[in-house]
Amino acid sequence: MHTLPSLFTPLPFGNFQLSHRIVMAPLKRMRAERPGNQPSALNALYYTQRASEGGLIVAEASQIMPEGQGMPATPGIHSDEQAAGWKLVCDGVHAKGGRIFLQLWHVGRISHHSHQPDGGQPWAPSAIAAEGMAMTASFGREAFAIPRAMSLADIDTLKKAYVEAGRRAIAAGFDGVEIHSANGYLLEQFMHAKSNQREDQFGGSPTNRIRLPLEVAEALAQALTPAKVGIRLSPFGIANDSGEPDSEPLYRSLIQELNRLGLVYLHLIEPRASGAGQREVDHQHVPSACKMFRKDWDGVLITAGNFTAEGAAQTVQDGHADAIAFGRYFIANPDLPERIRRGQAFTPYDRATFYGGGTEGYTDYKAFGFS
């Protein structure tokens, strides 16, 4: 038995305090009820199993509007039925003393016409198709189609949808929201030149390309207070045909501007884990995102990506991050913080059951039998 004290030092976090620094990362599981894409009692059980006293869960990416969906059975936060489903989740987590934020999501060009309400083209910064395969509403695979470049009116609609989704999430019981601006989805598509070739105020220079995520963050901070808003970024990430040739200046500028808004936290995905949701990856010869951008961020810094318990503790102890988010290990270890505290081995996860399905690989993982 061994303990990792740096992970179990309380952490001030906006309007409350976390009792430990092991965060459950947002994990797409594709188990919302259809039609309607609303969370159910099964989803509430899954999250409640993984809640811990004073611990933070970031719930899975949830589309802010019907057009934002890109995979089947992903939950939304744009209808009353979805909000009612999420209330079950929040109530369960809070009953165990946990805290929970909801990740707000629009996939942009990483969609398929079968997910679109009108069966049409998905939204994107520019009419440039992503390389790779889209997932259809029936869990099939087809090449990404050319998306429709968003108008300024579309962008205005999008920003309003983020705010409305944020308000709906808070009303459903969430302690806050996380803006998904990573992994090649819509907000990151605006940030990267390969997917954004606009010639207006949202394209061209790095300053223009980071404008939309900044405006979304500012709007949500004003609507909800900065203490209830975090953001997730994937510097140097290559998921979903993303990537920027010279990422550091762009992300440094974005993080410094976000820092001025006073958001409660910045959540980074380490480059070594980019694309880990689709396959086992450990990219070599890549920088450490948390080490690179720690000095640019005054609030809580969470980082995620292929951490062991020991590596997580060392990263916090060294001051490179304030908390560590675990994803795949949290799937198979609902009591992960307690396992780490007691130095217990982790149950291995089953990648074949990550997406879609029922209880198998979802709510049937057992907690360790602590006395």
| Cα dihedral sign, 29-31-37-43 | negative
Task: Calculate what percentage of the chain has a pLDDT beyond 90.
Answer: 91
- The answer, yes or no, to whether residue 2 has pLDDT greater than 60, is no
DSSP string, 273-340: GTTTTTS-----S---HHHHHGGG--SEEEEESS--HHHHHHHHHTTS-SEEEE-HHHHH-TTHHHHH
Residue count (the chain): 371
Tokens of 209: 């390309």
Instruction: Return all residues near 343 (Cβ < 8 A) that are at least 6 apart.
Output: 1, 2, 3, 309
Tokens of 287: 């920088």
Fold of 5-353: TIM Barrel (3.20.20)
Please, what is the average pLDDT of the chain? 95
Just list the catalytic residues.
Answer: 185
- The answer, yes or no, to whether residue 278 has pLDDT greater than 80, is no
- The answer, yes or no, to whether residue 249 has pLDDT greater than 60, is yes
Burial of 100 per CB tally in 10 Å (0-12, 13-18, 19+): buried
Average pLDDT over residues 119-143: 97
Report the C-alpha gap between 31 and 49 in whole angstroms. Answer: 16
Average pLDDT over residues 272-293: 73
Dump pLDDT digits (tens) for 313-369: 999 999 999 999 999 999 999 999 999 999 999 999 999 999 999 999 999 999 876
Q: How many CB atoms lie within 10 A of CB 141?
A: 10
For the chain, domain boundaries: 5-353
- The answer, yes or no, to whether residue 262 has pLDDT greater than 70, is yes
- The answer, yes or no, to whether residue 307 has pLDDT greater than 80, is yes
pLDDT class of 1 with cuts at 50, 70, 90:
very low
- The answer, yes or no, to whether residue 3 has pLDDT greater than 80, is no
Q: Are 108 and 123 in contact (CB under 8 A)?
A: yes
pLDDT class of 276 with cuts at 50, 70, 90:
low
- The answer, yes or no, to whether residue 77 has pLDDT greater than 60, is yes
Provide the pLDDT for residue 306: 87
Provide the pLDDT for residue 281: 54
Tokens of 322: 């304030």
pTM for the structure as a whole: 0.96
Provide the pLDDT for residue 146: 98
Dump pLDDT digits (tens) for 170-204: 999 999 999 999 999 999 999 999 999 999 999 99
Q: Are strands 16-18 and 11-13 parallel, antiparallel or unpaired?
A: antiparallel
- Which of 244, 181, 251, 269 is CA-nearest to residue 218? 181
Provide the pLDDT for residue 56: 98
Q: Are 70 and 134 in contact (CB under 8 A)?
A: yes
Provide the pLDDT for residue 283: 59
Cα distances from 22 to residues 70, 124, 259, in angstroms, run 29, 34, 23
